[in-house]
Amino acid sequence: MNYSITNKNDEMVMALVHYFITEENYTPIMVKGVKDEIWLENIDGPYRIIRINSNHIHNEEQYNFDLFKTSRVMEQIKKKTLSLKMNALNILVDVGDNFKVKQEDKNILSIVLDDVSKFIDNKNIKDLFPKINNKLIKDKEGIDLIINVTNDINAKTMEHNEEYTKIFSPKKMIVTPILILICFVMFFLMYILGNGSEDVGTLVFFGANVQGLVKSGQVWRLVTSIFLHIGILHLIVNMYSLFIIGGQLETFLGKVKYLIVFLVSGLVGSLLSCVMHETVSAGASGAIFGLLGSLLYFGYHYRLYLGSVLKTQVIPIIILNLIIGFVSPGIDNFAHIGGLVGGYLATMAVGIPGKKRTSDQVNGIIVLGILILFLGYMLYR
């Protein structure tokens, strides 16, 4: 004798949840105050939010109130994830026979789930989720369906956890201490072989950034100037910042990508500085601002985990330091701005673990290349 432990609606919902989690990389999110609803999120998905609502909707008034509740929850998620726009796929499981769903909100697409075949054949679903016809479970029901769904979702969750653990777990710093060591060695060499770090002639001899010399062909100064500092306070502040920010970013990006971002950021910062003024300049602050720009890009793509850090730490630090740079004499804010932009674009170009997309990398390479060529043109015109 066979016993049915689920009804058809439950089986359809389970099959959909299984598909969106295992095939489309959506993750369940907890929403306070909701009942008989499943909320899924994928910040890179064609729909940021997928909501499966099993509550009964029998008239237009109830449907409009349901849309209102959905939009309010979406607003909360937008604030949490620093998102300017958000769209949702609103799947309604239990709708009255005499009620026809109308699209009342441009950001919320509502579809009635009364039959799996009709749902799969919906043009919006076919276009945005082309794998659904082949990957959606259709040949299981009852206890077999529950076992399949549970095992597959648990396996996918473990895969995600392992990936995130690999990215966010502390790792031994190698590149950051080497960069700091180089800066300290160069600082002491300016006193041993020259007249000190505040002497213009010594700075120029060791490779400080000077517009006239760069234009004459000494382009290597755009990089060597990153490792020179003017005075002990300048060195200590920058090296402390590099240790804190760089050590974290080296863990996130990996050693090679981190080094590329650091050098490219410093290069772009030096270029913009060289374009905008003729004074002698040096320091790693442009590259360090590039690391902040890199954190912005990385944090945005992992904002479910780092959203509060971006809002309370990274963004305020960037704004505060830029303001200080504009109101305080002697600070090369053009290097800061150039480094910030360069770091953001360099991170887009090299890609970040777990979120790397070829289209984003190509766009990053193209925009970064255009920026460097433009600054080069402005310098040598």
The single-letter code of the amino acid at 61 is E
Residue 336 a catalytic site member? yes
125/292 Cα distance (integer angstroms) = 39
* Active-site pick, 197, 270, 273, 285: 285
Q: Which helix (H) or strand (E) holds 152?
A: helix 142-168
Beta strand 88-95 pairing with 49-57: parallel
Q: How far is CA 204 from CA 197, 215, 224, 263, in A?
A: 10, 14, 10, 20
- Residue 213 structure tokens: 């010399």
Token pair belonging to 208: 């400080």
> Is 234 noted as a catalytic residue in this protein?
no
Q: Give DSSP secondary structure letters for 43-102.
A: TTSSSSEEEEEEEEE-SHHHHHHHHHHHHHHHHHHHHHTT-S---EEEEEEEE-TT----
Query: Is residue 30 helix, strand or coil?
Result: coil
* φ, ψ at 55 (rounded to 5°): -70, 145
**E-state strands within the chain:** 27-28, 37-41, 49-57, 88-95, 108-112
Query: What CA–CA distance (Å, rounded) separates 178 from 291?
Result: 16
**Which tokens hold the place of 69?**
């509740």
Q: Starting from the edge strand earliest in sequence, which strands make up the sheet with 88-95, in order?
A: 27-28, 37-41, 49-57, 88-95, 108-112
Find out whether 332 and 273 touch, Cβ atoms under 8 Å.
yes
Q: Which residues are catalytic?
A: 285, 336
